[in-house]
Amino acid sequence: MSKERARRRAVRLAVAEREKAARARKVARRQRRRTIIRSLRPHVRLGSSGRLYRRSRAQRTGIVLVPLLAIVAVWLFIPDQALRILLTVLLVLAAPALVVVVLGRRS
């Protein structure tokens, strides 16, 4: 009887050892894949000069509202249609430059 139990235990241990080895190979493969993928992705360092800087909520609101109010004023007070369109295009194109000049670049 004890020889039979020992034989079954040996079979169980052999099966468990094979499953453990298979799991270890799978984990190693997954880790290699993650390392390769991580090495292929571009690295973004927080705080570097290439990072987009943030503005306060009030500044972002002003950046949106001031040109919109100017465009509304142009469309309300300028009677000529061609001049309205010209001034609207000019405001849209000049707004980013004005934001940089007025608020400055944050670095």
Identify whether the C-beta of residue 83 lies closer than 8 Å to the C-beta of residue 71: no
Question: Would residue 34 count as lying in a domain?
Answer: yes
Looking at residue 104, its pLDDT comes to: 78
Question: Would residue 7 count as lying in a domain?
Answer: yes
Question: Would residue 73 count as lying in a domain?
Answer: yes
Whole-angstrom distance, CA of residue 68 vs CA of residue 74: 10
Quick one: average pLDDT of 37-62? 72
Strand, helix or coil for residue 54: coil
Looking at residue 47, its pLDDT comes to: 54
Q: How many domains does the chain have?
A: 2
Quick one: average pLDDT of 18-25? 95
Quick one: average pLDDT of 85-92? 95
Give the predicted TM-score (pTM) of the model. Answer: 0.48
Reading the block at residue 65, the tokens are: 């509202």
Is the confidence at residue 45, as pLDDT, over 70?
no
Quick one: average pLDDT of 18-38? 94
Quick one: average pLDDT of 39-60? 69
Q: Do residues 35 and 61 both lie within one domain? A: no
User: What's the domain range around 74?
Assistant: 57-103
Q: Which residue has the higher pLDDT, 43 or 62?
A: 62
